[in-house]
A = this chain, B = another copy of it.
Amino acid sequence: MAMVGAKLRALRQRRGLGMRELALRSGVSHSAISLIERERMSPSVDTLGAILAALGTTFSSFFADLESGLPSRPFYKAEELAEIGRADRISYRLVGMDYPNRRMLMLAERYAPGAETELMITHNAEEAGIVTRGAVEVTVEGRSQVLRQGDAYYFDSRLPHSFRNVDPGVSEIVSAITPPTY
């Protein structure tokens, strides 16, 4: 249960609004608002969006504020990094998964022999990395290069790009992407 309730109540009271008044403006019933604020209910994204709009806020700044706490810890053991890829062909293991307000995705990437990514045309982000093992052919906007241990890359994620393991064994990359919506 994400702790949106307390934050919402503070926001509403700061506006000097009662539950009924906010209900009227947002189109959400005052009883629902009561339940949400006391965290007895987790609102749907639609409902929360309606309430936030009536309060003059946006999802991103509401949650930015909510998640602005300090990280629980600074260190992560190799084996506890959270797998966010498929692990069999290409593994992406995430650093700082419980860092509430992280602004980048720091990844330990591991490519099985022959593994390659789709051609990705992603969004407004930047990514960089260093090959730490094996050999990876990186293609950005049609231009390819084979990177080996110590070689690196840095490009705008909006350019079409892909990765291919060209080493007979396993290849590894340490990379970072920002913002973390990779």
> Contact residues of A with B, CB < 8 Å?
1-2, 4, 11, 14-17, 21, 42-49, 53-68, 82, 84-86, 89-90, 92, 94, 97, 100-103, 105, 117-118, 120, 122-124, 179-182
Q: Would you call the interface of chain A mostly helix, strand, loop, or mixed?
A: loop
What residues on B are CB-neighbors of A44 within 8 Å? 42-45
Contact A179 B53 (CB under 8 A): no
Whole-angstrom distance between the Cβ of A37 and the nearest chain B Cβ: 13
With A and B bound together, what is the CA distance between A94 and B179 in angstroms?
A: 28
What residues on B are CB-neighbors of A82 within 8 Å? 56
Q: 6 pairs across A/B with beta carbons < 8 Å?
A: A14-B122, A43-B44, A43-B45, A44-B44, A58-B63, A65-B124
Q: A46 is contacted by which of B42, B64, B90 (Cβ under 8 Å)?
A: B42
With A and B bound together, what is the CA distance between A117 and B67 in angstroms?
A: 27
Contact B4 A45 (CB under 8 A): yes
Contact A56 B42 (CB under 8 A): no
Whole-angstrom distance between the Cβ of A72 and the nearest chain B Cβ: 14
In the complex, what residue of chain B is closest to A179 when comparing beta carbons?
B61
Whole-angstrom distance between the Cβ of A64 and the nearest chain B Cβ: 4
Q: A63 is contacted by which of B60, B97, B123, B124 (Cβ under 8 Å)?
A: B60
Q: A2 is contacted by which of B45, B55, B56, B90 (Cβ under 8 Å)?
A: B45
With A and B bound together, what is the CA distance between A47 and B44 in angstroms?
A: 9
Whole-angstrom distance between the Cβ of A102 and the nearest chain B Cβ: 6
In the complex, what residue of chain B is closest to A95 when comparing beta carbons?
B56
With A and B bound together, what is the CA distance between A61 and B180 in angstroms?
A: 7
Contact A180 B57 (CB under 8 A): yes
